[in-house]
Amino acid sequence: MQLTLLRHIQTLAPEGTCYGQSEPELPPDHELQHRQLARALDGETFHAIYSSPLQRCALLAGTIAGPRPVTYDDRLKELDFGSWEGLPWSEIEQRPEAAPFFADWVHTPPPGGEPFIDLIGRVGRFLAEIGKRHRGHRLLVVSHSGPIRAILGLAERLPPEDFFKRSLPFGHISRINL
């Protein structure tokens, strides 16, 4: 199975804002940016298209898919940052409850959120399921930084602490064979 992984475009959330499963606004030219990314994938045929249901991914996947169906899967959502959603990271870093998270962000959830290890688990279950369903197929997955890093890290058998050592800019396209 060949996966093409596409990260959504940059939102209007101010730089340094913590947002995972919240829905920051998209830029006014998001449709143009989505069409540009769709053109970057022109000529590629996908047996199926999967996407996070969050707007910043769903709209992009819909633009690429055109009349073809998109399967929206909650397992492709970004990490749930709980009560930190929408706050500046600079403010979060000053909070006493942040120390345990920053000491072990893989296993410790933000307040009211989920630990990264749970995200890895849900992404791993997604990969196992599509691996059985789509053996030998080419798939497009439109998602967020966290899930895409988890897919790549699991494929490369990296320790979770190393998943964030790679650059993954907005609109980035990665390809892997599983």
Of 8, 30, 34, 134, the active-site residue reads: 8
Q: How far, in Å, CA of 41 to CA of 60, rounded? A: 12
Of 30, 47, 144, 172, the active-site residue reads: 144
| Residue 105 near residue 98 (C-beta atoms within 8 A) | no
Is 144 considered catalytic here?
yes
Token pair listed for 118: 């749970």
CA 135 vs CA 43, 48, 131, 139: distances in Å: 21, 12, 6, 10
Q: How far, in Å, CA of 153 to CA of 149, rounded? A: 6
Q: How far, in Å, CA of 178 to CA of 168, rounded? A: 20
List the catalytic residues. Answer: 8, 144
